Amino acid sequence: MSAAPSPTGPLRHFLQLRDFSADEIQYVLSRARIIKDKFKRYQPHHTLHDRNLAMVFEKASTRTRVSFEAGMYQLGGSVIYLTTEGSQLGRAEPIEDTARVISRMVDLVMIRTFEQTRIERFAAHSRVPVINGLTNEFHPCQILADILTFVEHRGSIHGKTVAWIGDANNMSYTWLQAAELLGFTLHVSGPEGYRLDPRRTRVQPATTLREFSDPRQACEGADLVTTDVWTSMGYEDENEVRRRAFADWCVDAQMMSAAHEDALFMHCLPAHRGEEVMGEVIDGPQSVVWDEAENRLHVQKALMEFLLLGRLS
């Protein structure tokens, strides 16, 4: 096992979607489809034999943990699971020292944490690639899975329209990076006080992003309607205020009917039926949320391979 910088080139991290070029994202997506196909046919795919992934969770998780852990074993490697409370991070060991130590012992690190600056500080002191498993600002692994899911169901996302309904959170800002990189339009609608921060929305071309006060209008012409919880992890104190503010931003059948007839519905999960989405939508025929969740597994296997081995096909 090697815990040294990759022999395939300079050390790369995946801290936000735009750490990769459009071409690299397309490569990871196409590789994910190959890996998924082999998985479905029970063909072994041990490209990361003997490699070790450390997973650091400073927030709760179901999908991220299971997909990275199962994925690494399926690639022939192994994992170490760490939490804030169960490690010295919870007793104020600096993140920089944690990074120096962990990255001398493993080949790859995935972190779920709070501020983006925290994962950036970790990466700056890491000898091995670092993957963002969700921060307050971004959730790039989820967006890779979402785009893979769109492509599987509808083909290329280039030129399409995605409607984001709800909070200006880590998912929405990652969708915005995806729209700019991959050439589609993002419609966004959320209540006043919870809208995108203009300091974070400079994209090229400017028409990539269209903001709407009416969520139904945002859904018009959409090929995909997507939403997320009204209160993200770390913001629980705002739960009641947010519940009132977001009441009109629940994705229901009426909203879906404003979108294209064949529009898909996605949600990164966990979902709260009756809040950000009605059961009739998330459990309805346009919803692809289970494929979306499964694709975390396949796309992250491709991502880990790419970071450690570079391009293989």
Active-site residue set: 112, 139, 142, 228, 268, 296
Closest CB to ligand NVA among residues 229, 304: 229
H/E stretch holding 160 reads: none
State in angstroms the smallest separation of the CB of 137 from ligand NVA. 10
Residue 31: which of ligand CP, ligand NVA, none does it interact with, CB under 5 to 8 A by kind?
none
What 66-70 contacts at long range (C-beta under 8 Å, 24+ apart), as own/partner pairs, is 66/297, 67/296, 67/297, 67/300, 68/110, 68/133, 68/300, 70/297
**Shortest Å, Cβ 214 to ligand CP:** 27
Region from 59-67, 121-129, 176-184, 305-313 binding ligand CP, contact rule CB under 6 A: 59-67
Beta-bridge mates of residue 56: 82, 111
Q: Which stretches of 248-307 are assigned E, i.e. beta strand?
A: 264-267
What x/- string results for residues 70 through 99 when contact with ligand NVA is judged by CB under 6 A? ------------------------------
Kindly tell me which residue out of 30, 61, 83, 84 binds ligand CP, with binding defined by CB under 6 A: 61
CA 103 – CA 109 distance, rounded (Å): 7
Residues 127-166 that bind ligand CP (CB under 6 A): 134, 142
145 versus 308: smaller Cβ distance to ligand CP: 145
Q: What mask, x for binding ligand CP by CB under 6 A, covers residues 72 to 111?
A: ----------------------------------------
Neighbours of 199 (CB within 10 A): 6
Q: Per this entry, what is the length of the chain?
A: 313
Q: What angle do CA 92, 2, 4 make, to 5 degrees?
A: 65
Binding of ligand NVA by 132 (CB under 6 A): no
Indicate the residue type of 29: L
Q: Is there binding between residue 117 and ligand CP (CB under 6 A)?
A: no
d(CA 137, CA 171): 8
* Two tokens, residue 54: 């450390």
- Cβ atoms of 278 and 231 closer than 8 Å: no
Q: Which region, left, alpha or beta, applies to residue 193 given φ > 0 means left and ψ of -120 to 50 means alpha?
A: left
Interaction residues for ligand NVA, span 219-238 (CB under 6 A): 228-229, 232-233
Minimum separation from the CB atom of position 146 to ligand CP (A): 10
Dig out the tokens for 77 from the structure. 């490697």
According to CB under 6 A, which one of 113, 169, 174, 286 is a site residue for ligand NVA? 169
Spatial contact of 121 and 93, defined as CB atoms under 8 Å apart:
no
CB of 185 to ligand CP, least distance (A): 24
Q: Nearest to ligand NVA by Cβ — which residue?
A: 232
Measured from the CB atom, the residue of 16 and 170 that comes closer to ligand NVA is 170
Q: How many whole angstroms separate alpha carbon 130 and alpha carbon 124?
A: 10
Query: 232 touches which of ligand CP, ligand NVA, none (CB within 5 to 8 A by kind)?
Result: ligand NVA
> E strands, 140-277, where?
161-165, 185-189, 209-212, 224-227, 264-267
Residue 52 interacts with, from ligand NVA, ligand CP, none (CB under 5-8 Å by kind):
none
- Figure out which of the listed residues 2, 8, 62, 254 binds ligand CP, where binding follows CB under 6 A: 62
Q: Nearest 5°: phi and psi at 189?
A: -140, 130
Q: How far is the CB of 190 from ligand NVA (least distance, A)?
A: 13
Picked from ligand NVA, ligand CP, none, the partner binding residue 245 (CB below 5 to 8 A depending on kind) is none
Structure tokens given for 297: 């597994």
Interface residues with ligand NVA (CB under 6 A)? 134, 169-171, 228-229, 232-233, 268
Interface residues with ligand CP (CB under 6 A)? 61-64, 134, 142, 268-269
